Amino acid sequence: MLNPNDSSQASSRETAATTSLQPMRFTDILDTMFSLYRNHFRLFSSIVAIYFGLLLGLNLLTGTSTFSFASSGQSSMAIAIALITSPIAFVVTFFVGGGLMFASAEAYLDRHITVRGAFSRAKRRFWPYLGSNFLWCLVVGILTITIIGIPFAIYFGTRWVFCSLAALVEENSAKNALRRSSELVKGTWWRVFGITLAILLLALVIQTILQFSLLFVFGVTQAIGGQGDLLEMLQRMIVPELTTWDGLATYVIHQFINIVVTSLTLPIAIIGFTLLYFDLRIRKEGFDIEMRVTNEAV
């Protein structure tokens, strides 16, 4: 990390960083994606720690309320609590995602960034960031629901995939963020679609393997302890039953494992999308030259 009090050191490192900005192949994006995550693991893990703590608390509140009210015949109260916690969980996830995006961009450009700074940027740009994603979800969602519009949903979903980064990094309005993303993707739609899909699948595979491995280990441990056969334990871990104390305990462990794994894998896709975004800016706009000229002028 840079020392914010040492301007000369910061300037030299930023200049050095811009010389390494260059177009990337898919393999380069993957390599840089994991390198950034590894080199800035403390930064990213600190950001997702907020996600972990709040989401775990909200999910446990939902689970325990379902268990308590269902046993007393007040299932409507459990539903009411779930309706309250779900939007809060969405906002938390969305806000943390914004912090991760800005942190990824600053880390790639080798600039000093703190957890507080990342969240401050996400807070300042929250409404354009939310608005651009709302428009994305509205159009893509409506097209998907019609079934026959699914090909168009895929087209516009890919065309506007960088709307969040355009709103956060370039500080565009919600509407202009969609237009900005379209400009970057224009002429490279199939490449962006393929790399985006590959990044999503890679993150999903890593998350699934980690989750299943941890659930399997816990299921084997419980089975060895005489609390049921392995198949029964795995079934209880995947679909916990909130009707008994054992089911509640299993639910707590299940949520803990899922959120831990999600917290660890969440930065992967976000870093990948950020790298692809800068790759397009470098290829189409000479962003690397722009950064070099800017730093030399400073």
2: phi then psi, degrees, rounded to nearest 5: -80, 150
Of the candidates 280, 36, 266, 35, which has an alpha carbon nearest to the alpha carbon of residue 161?
Answer: 280
Q: Which two tokens stand for residue 63?
A: 């689970």
Query: Can you read off the two tokens belonging to residue 240?
Result: 């916990």
- Residues of the chain above pLDDT 70, percent: 78
State how far the Cα of 215 lies from the Cα of 38, in Å rounded to an integer.
25
Residue type, 70: A
| Model confidence band, residue 202 (pLDDT cutoffs 50, 70, 90) | very high
Is 248 a residue whose pLDDT tops 90?
no
- Give which of 155, 109, 136 is closest to 275, Cα–Cα: 109
Contact between 192 and 185 under an 8 Å Cβ cutoff? The reply is yes
Q: Picking from 63-72, 161-170, 174-183, which range would have the lowest pLDDT averaged per residue?
A: 63-72
Tens of pLDDT, residues 90-112: 888 889 999 999 999 999 998 88
pLDDT at position 5 over 50: no
Closest CA relative to residue 133, chosen from 149, 122, 145 = 122
* DSSP assignment letter at 110: T
Whether residue 140 has pLDDT greater than 60: yes
Average pLDDT over residues 162-168: 95
pLDDT of residue 70: 60
Residue corresponding to tokens 């998907």: 144
The mean of the pLDDT values for the chain is 82
Q: Which of 243, 271, 218, 226 is nearest to 45 (CA)?
A: 271
112-131 per-position pLDDT tens digit? 899 999 999 999 999 999 99
Specify the DSSP class assigned to residue 266. H
Band (18; pLDDT cuts 50, 70, 90): very low
Closest CA to 136 of 156, 106, 112: 156
Task: Specify the residue for token string 């030259």.
Answer: 289
Distance CA 221, CA 223 (A): 5
Q: What is the DSSP letter of 125?
A: T
Q: What pLDDT, on a 0 to 100 scale, did the predictor assign at position 278?
A: 95
CA–CA gap between residue 103 and residue 34 (Å, rounded): 14
pLDDT of residue 124: 94
Q: What is the arithmetic mean of pLDDT over 206-231? A: 73
DSSP 208-265: HHHHHHHHHHHHHHHHHTTSS-HHHHHHHHHS--TTSHHHHHHHHHHHHHHHHHHHHH
Under the banding of pLDDT at 50, 70 and 90, the label for residue 242 is low
From residue 156, alpha-carbon distances to 95, 199, 240 in Å are 23, 18, 38
